[in-house]
Each structure stands twice: as structure tokens, then as C-alpha cells.
């Protein structure tokens, strides 16, 4: 593992698939929504390919009209609300790692394609809310990941230069966004994406467990 003991002042995290184990939740919502509106569900791989992009963008790929897209969004969100707290949970070591980074004085931000309401709800369930003063969601930017704008927005709010930040995510979109913004990138291998798709985006480091992040930073 590469070590950056003197260079990292901030760690930016994706949320779903990186800090929160939400794949089962997301896939159940997808299958329910597609079955309700299309009468059948396309292969899971078609939805997985869009992980890391905003929900409305995902839904639009399957809807046959703008009206159906809006209806599908409503169905997805209503079903997600009904099962969210039962299925979403932090990955092992996530809360402890974030708390230790905060203790070391590392600036922290969430950069997610999930909307703010759901993000805050999930962060509360994961026990990490208190450690993040900066949360960038699609409501805050004009362009979502893989565009660099969400990462750049988080850096500006933190007051940290891109070269002093590490972006941790589980999707190729995260790696592309961080690299385009000029941060160092760390690919979380515990998410739903195959290793090969992450390697294609040339991350600076691969993470096998949450605690690996601690080896990349130094603080008090």
C-alpha cells in the first residue's frame, strides 16, 4: 500500500457501497420499481452499471416517458422508505475508521450521488453524522459524478487543495471524479463493482478494508 503520511489533510468519502452497505437495499428497490412499472425486471447488471450516478439519471434509462420516469421515482422512493432502516448498515470498521480520522484532525467530507435527505438518514444509521461538516449531494451541484464538480465543491468548502485530499469510493465514477478534480484516489474493493472496472480508472491505491485508510494519513 502506498503511504502519504505528510500529504493528506482531507479524506472525501462516497457513501453507498463505501461507508454504507446498501447494495441489497438498492437492488430490492430497483427490482420492485421495474416489476411495478414495466411488468418485468431487466438484468441486475444493467442497474449495477449505473451505480454511483443519481437516482433520477438511473431511472430515466429504463422509463419510456418523462411521466413514467417521475412515477418510477416515486415508487422507488416510497418503497425505499419502507425498508431503508431494516437493510442499510455500515460496513464493518467504517464508523471506527471515520472517528479515528476525525481524532487525528483530518478534514472529512461526503461526496455522494444520493440525495441529501436519504444521505443524512443513512449517515445517522451508520453512526457517522457528527464527523462530517461537509456533505455534497446532487442538489448542491450542476453536474454529478463522474464529473469533478462534486469533489471540487467539497474541497472548496473544506478549504483544502486537491493535492492534499484523498477520495475514497467504490465505483469507477468515484475514481474518475476524484482523478479529474486532482485528488488522490482510493478504490474500496468491498463494494459491488468488479476489481477490473475500478482498475480501469487508475486509482492510486486499492483498499481491502476500511482501516486501510488510516495507513494513508497521519495526524495527531
Query: Which residues are identified as catalytic?
Result: 14
Q: Are 132 and 154 in contact (CB under 8 A)?
A: no
Q: Which of 101, 75, 90 is nearest to 127 (CA)?
A: 90
Distance CA 62, CA 194 (A): 23
Distance CA 3, CA 115 (A): 33
39, three cell numbers? 411488468
Question: 10: which strand partners?
Answer: 107, 165
**What are the Cα distances from residue 159, in Å, to 76, 99, 104, 107, 134?**
36, 20, 17, 9, 11
CA neighbor of 15 nearest in space, from 149, 111, 88: 111
Distance CA 145, CA 90 (A): 22
Q: Nine-digit cell at 59?
A: 431511472
d(CA 88, CA 38): 26
Helices (H) and strands (E) in the chain, counts: 9, 8
Amino acid at each position: 500500500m502506498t503511504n502519504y503520511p505528510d500529504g493528506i489533510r482531507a479524506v472525501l468519502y462516497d457513501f453507498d457501497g463505501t461507508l454504507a452497505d446498501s447494495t441489497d437495499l438498492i437492488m430490492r428497490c430497483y427490482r420492485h420499481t421495474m416489476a411495478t412499472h414495466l411488468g418485468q425486471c431487466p438484468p441486475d447488471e444493467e442497474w449495477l452499471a449505473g451505480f454511483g450516478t443519481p437516482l433520477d439519471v438511473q431511472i430515466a434509462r429504463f422509463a419510456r416517458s418523462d411521466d413514467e420516469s417521475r412515477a418510477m421515482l416515486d415508487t422507488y422512493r416510497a418503497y425505499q422508505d419502507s425498508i431503508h432502516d431494516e437493510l442499510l448498515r455500515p460496513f464493518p470498521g467504517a464508523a471506527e475508521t471515520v472517528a479515528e480520522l476525525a481524532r487525528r484532525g483530518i478534514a472529512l467530507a461526503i461526496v455522494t450521488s444520493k440525495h441529501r435527505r436519504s444521505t443524512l438518514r443513512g449517515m445517522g444509521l451508520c453512526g457517522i453524522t457528527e464527523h462530517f461538516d461537509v456533505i455534497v449531494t446532487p442538489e448542491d451541484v450542476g453536474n454529478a459524478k463522474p464529473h469533478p464538480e462534486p469533489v471540487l465543491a467539497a474541497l472548496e468548502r473544506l478549504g483544502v487543495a486537491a493535492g492534499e485530499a484523498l477520495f475514497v469510493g467504490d465505483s469507477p465514477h468515484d475514481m474518475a471524479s476524484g482523478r479529474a478534480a486532482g485528488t488522490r484516489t482510493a478504490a474500496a474493493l468491498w463494494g459491488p463493482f468488479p476489481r477490473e472496472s475500478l482498475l480501469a480508472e487508475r486509482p492510486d491505491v486499492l483498499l481491502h478494508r476500511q482501516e486501510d485508510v488510516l495507513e494513508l494519513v497521519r495526524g495527531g
